[in-house]
Amino acid sequence: MTTADYDQASLPDLLPLYYRRLFPFSQYHRWLNYGGVTKNYFQNREFSFTLKDDIYVRYQSFSTQNELEKEMQKMNPYKIDIGAVYSHRPNQHNTVKSGSFQALEKELVFDIDMTDYDDVRSCCSGADICPKCWTLMTIAIRILDRALRDDFGFRHCLWVYSGRRGVHCWVCDEAARKLSVAARSAVAEYLSLVKGGDETVRKVVLSDPIHPFITESLTVVENYFSQYALLGQDILGSKEAVDKVLALLPEDVRKKLLQYFQTEKNPEKRWDTIRSMAQDKRMTAKKGHYFEMEIMLQYCYPRLDVNVSKGVNHLLKSPFSVHPKTGRISVPIDLRELDRFDPFEVPTISLICEELDQPKTEEEQDDNMENENKKEAGERRKMRDYKRTSLAKYVKLFDNFLEEMAHSRKGEVLKNSGECNLNP
């Protein structure tokens, strides 16, 4: 059982425990310090906390990991957001001459929210998610991660479960952190294919030439389309669903299909027909007709909120923060096991607090003896504590991510000093 019956009312009791014994402060600080390469990078970072009774405080900043820990243990925030690295310490921004206090750097971030897909998912709506529509997140992660790596050359992308109905991506490369507002906006636009709100029926419009980025994205969608859309969402099953699909097609195609669908009820066969009709049209007509691709993209392609990605000073929910409504921890997602990721298996704060109370296993007692000499008692206990819970594997993931970044930094230093890095 992974939820251990989470109840929002118990947060005031659980949070102190979480921040005292489970939150991975050491890794967290290691992340945001980025190897200490830039002076005051951690000190000038803005955090914002949402406290009990919806009290919201901005411009929090800390000089050391210790100070961060003490403050968080004192305030027990319900939610934690991370903002930008500023020109001065955020908690002193009122003392700075107006106009001089500027947001300088921040990770490039993306926020994919399931509610943005309400017009194309039939299983759930609003804040609800289920295993069927979760595939949309899987597709989004695959497409965006590939693009960020291959097209943009970013190497350090941390994907995090938001805790309820979506995922976030934190692109931590130095080049990404230094991007201007215009650049962030350009990246987000490059990655956007689904455009339009409630009043737009046809949200994806493709024309010649089809950019390699679109081709690559389609390849990913095709891997999931049959299982997810035709079977899971049954988009060519019921009359209502079929009508929605047909609304995206040119008039003449729609008429032919309506007739054809009277006899053919099998969704796979129906889809095959739509596909071949598109291909035929491309052979004969002068203009490109890509309606089968447009349908696939409209139903499956990631929908991101450009505004979240654009602003250098935009605040986004922190990894390892708790989601107050669901109790789930915002954990990193393992891309190697992406298809197996289950948001309903993500540990809640109540679960991991309960796990803390379990008696120690023999294995852990051995570990204790080994680590006895290494670190101070407090840290030792903390290390043991989260390791005893379901949070362990997620902290390990985070560790791996940080290790890769450290490795990259070392590589850069060697490169810049003229030596060659023998270990790729």
Report, as residue numbers or ranges, the catalytic residues. Answer: 46, 111, 113
Q: Distance (Å, rounded) from C-alpha 402 to C-alpha 413?
A: 17
154 vs 159, beta carbon nearer another protein = 154
Q: What's the closest the beta carbon of residue 313 comes to another protein, in angstroms?
A: 18
Q: What's the closest the beta carbon of residue 153 comes to another protein, in angstroms?
A: 3
Q: Which residues bind another protein (CB under 8 A)?
A: 150-154, 175, 179-180, 182-183, 185-187, 189-190, 208-215
Q: Distance (Å, rounded) from C-alpha 322 to C-alpha 342?
A: 17
Q: What's the closest the beta carbon of residue 310 comes to another protein, in angstroms?
A: 12
Residue 240 C-beta-side C-alpha neighbours within 13 Å: 5
Q: How far is CA 103 from CA 59, 61, 156, 182, 317, in A?
A: 11, 13, 22, 14, 18
217 vs 350, beta carbon nearer another protein = 217
Q: What's the closest the beta carbon of residue 151 comes to another protein, in angstroms?
A: 5
The pair of structure tokens assigned to 321 is: 């923060």
C-beta of residue 29 within 8 angstroms of C-beta of residue 42 = yes
Sheet containing strand 166-171, strands side by side: 108-113, 166-171, 157-161
53-62: b (≥16 Cβ within 10 Å) or e: eeeeeebbbb
Q: What's the closest the beta carbon of residue 209 comes to another protein, in angstroms?
A: 5
Q: Distance (Å, rounded) from C-alpha 314 to C-alpha 187?
A: 16
122 vs 185, beta carbon nearer another protein = 185
208 vs 419, beta carbon nearer another protein = 208
71 vs 151, beta carbon nearer another protein = 151
